[in-house]
Amino acid sequence: MHDERERFLIRYAAGFAPLTVARADGSWIETTDGRRILDFTSGQICSTVGHNHPRIVEAVQRSLDTVVHLNSWMLSEPVLALAERLVATLPEPLDKVIVLNTGSEANEVAFKLAKLHTGRFEVVGLTRSFHGLLAGATSVTFSMGHAGYGPLVPGAFALPAPYAYRCPIRHCDGTCDCACLEAGFELVEQQSVGALCALVAEPVLSAGGVIVPPEGYFRRARELCEERGMLLVMDEAQTGFGRLGAMFGFELEGVVPDILAVSKTLGGGVPVAATVTSTAIEEDCVAKGFLHVTSHVSDPLPSAAGLAVIDVIEEEGLVERARRQGEYLISRLQELQESHEQVGDVRGRGLLVGVELVEDRDGKAPADALGAAVTVECLRRGLSMNIVRSGQQANCFRIAPPLSVTLNEIDLAMEILDEALRSALESRERSRAGAA
């Protein structure tokens, strides 16, 4: 069907939602025709403190009244304060910050620092990863985005993701024992030209289907990196600032990365990102001529928003809240799993939860069409849900409401999801019966 709204727009993904948004507040968005929709994707997983939080509005307003943007060599109070605040939130030796705008950019900067520091260029990522769609980040994004754009950055290698529900090396079933990590490093090593620079990983692989690595995975990954003189880069675009029930995902295993990239969840909807590393790496890179000047590096307005987000997370106890609400959400989804054969797996940490739809529990064939139909039925009933795609597979809901979500909102979402599943299954049965 032709969508008149597309007349002046480049269609950058798989199409637009059949609604136009007028405003957003907390866990809710409101359309121009007055419908209220519960947002269980936090926009693009950015609005962790809820849409349009008054503290962010106030911080942006203050910037509008004072200073929005500056030449990149001029610093302002919000940038200095954000850098200091980030360092205070992080463990040693992460004490040097560059303030940027997007998640892809934060990773690009992480790779530039890692390359300059090690003098090598090969970057290893995980299959089903998503690190952004700029060239360097795309090269180690293995869930999508490669076909059709010509050569990627040389030296990008993949490790099989610790996806226990569908083990990529057909080794375990349900519980990962990290054999994929050992086998993966062996493969990487044999392909390498001797220039292994860094491993980049999300603490939970979000866009790839909410894959939660097993306990010990990152400790072992860290050892494997150290044995080869590689740096560990953690990409906490989605997991940073509380979503997993910890301030940062890397804390869950006590493995501190050499370089940390944060973005989405730092700005609460305003484009701010940061790459953080140690003084030792920063000094070495600066001595080697590190360069990363962009139009919006160290901009005051996004920095002010980032500061407000960290304030809200601390003042409203959102880290602990994510843990509690997440446990409740998972328990409600497990109830749904008992009544629907098609809910194959429920997994996650804090308020980053995956629900994988299958044709049946034994065969586990991904139920992609059902997922698409349930998404439509949810939206019709006032719940925004998101299926993520990795390669050919698109059957996993990634559920990530704002950390401020209430138990009543979770109950309402579960009611809608249950109804949407029933309705999509009934209409599938009807069309199958009609075709028979």
Ligand X SMILES: Cc1ncc(COP(=O)(O)O)c(C=O)c1O
- Residue 132 interacts with ligand X (CB under 6 A): yes or no: yes
- Closer residue to ligand X (CB): 120 or 264: 264
Residue nearest to ligand X according to CB distances in the complex: 103
Tell the smallest beta-carbon distance from residue 104 to ligand X (Å). 3
- Closer residue to ligand X (CB): 102 or 404: 102
- Residue 235 interacts with ligand X (CB under 6 A): yes or no: yes
Fill in the per-residue mask, 14 to 33: x = in contact with ligand X (CB under 6 A), - = not in contact. --------------------
Task: Name the segment binding ligand X (CB under 6 A); options: 79-87, 89-97, 128-136, 307-315.
Answer: 128-136
- Closer residue to ligand X (CB): 63 or 206: 206
Tell the smallest beta-carbon distance from residue 265 to ligand X (Å). 10
Per CB under 6 A, contacts with ligand X among 175-234 are: 202, 206-207
Tell the smallest beta-carbon distance from residue 139 to ligand X (Å). 13
- Closer residue to ligand X (CB): 202 or 253: 202
For the chain, the three-class secondary structure string (H helix, E strand, C coil) is CCCHHHHHCCCCCCCCCCCCEEEEEECEEEECCCCEEEECCHHHHCCCCCECCHHHHHHHHHHHHCCCCCCCCCCCHHHHHHHHHHHHHCCCCCCEEEEECCHHHHHHHHHHHHHHHHCCCEEEEECCCCCCCCHHHHHCCCCCCCCCCCCCCCCEEEECCCCHHHCCCCCCCCCCCCHHHHHHHHHHHHHCCCCEEEEEECCCECCCCCECCCCCHHHHHHHHHHHCCCEEEEECCCCCCCCCCCCCHHHHHCCCCCEEEECHHHHCCCCCEEEEECHHHHHHHHHCCCCCCCCCCCCHHHHHHHHHHHHHHHHCCHHHHHHHHHHHHHHHHHHHHHHCCCEEEEEEECCEEEEEEECCCCCCCECHHHHHHHHHHHHHCCEECCEEEECCEEEEEEECCCCCCCHHHHHHHHHHHHHHHHHHHHHHHHHHHHHC
- Closer residue to ligand X (CB): 237 or 416: 237
Tell the smallest beta-carbon distance from residue 103 to ligand X (Å). 2
- Residue 139 interacts with ligand X (CB under 6 A): yes or no: no
Burial category of 173 from C-beta neighbours within 10 Å (exposed 0-12, middle 13-18, buried 19 and up): exposed
CA torsion, ordered 320, 323, 328, 332, to nearest 10 deg:
150
Among 117, 131, 332, 349, binds ligand X (CB under 6 A): 131
Tell the smallest beta-carbon distance from residue 39 to ligand X (Å). 16
- Closer residue to ligand X (CB): 103 or 257: 103
- Closer residue to ligand X (CB): 45 or 94: 45
Size of the site for ligand X (CB under 6 A): 15
Tell the smallest beta-carbon distance from residue 409 to ligand X (Å). 23
- Residue 238 interacts with ligand X (CB under 6 A): yes or no: yes
Determine if the peptide bond prior to 93 is cis (ω within 30°): yes
Per CB under 6 A, contacts with ligand X among 314-353 are: none
Tell the smallest beta-carbon distance from residue 117 to ligand X (Å). 21
Among 29, 39, 96, 130, binds ligand X (CB under 6 A): 130
Tell the smallest beta-carbon distance from residue 34 to ligand X (Å). 30
- Closer residue to ligand X (CB): 202 or 345: 202
- Closer residue to ligand X (CB): 63 or 265: 265
Beta bridge partners of 266: none
- Residue 275 interacts with ligand X (CB under 6 A): yes or no: no
- Closer residue to ligand X (CB): 342 or 386: 386
- Tell me which residue of 333, 331, 386, 300 sits closest to 78, measured CA to CA: 300
- Closer residue to ligand X (CB): 238 or 393: 238
CA–CA separation, 174 vs 23, rounded Å? 42
Fill in the per-residue mask, 78 to 117: x = in contact with ligand X (CB under 6 A), - = not in contact. ------------------------xxx--x----------
Q: How many residues does the chain have?
A: 436
Per CB under 6 A, contacts with ligand X among 248-267 are: 263-264
In the complex, which residues of this chain contact ligand X (CB under 6 A)? 102-104, 107, 130-132, 202, 206-207, 235, 237-238, 263-264
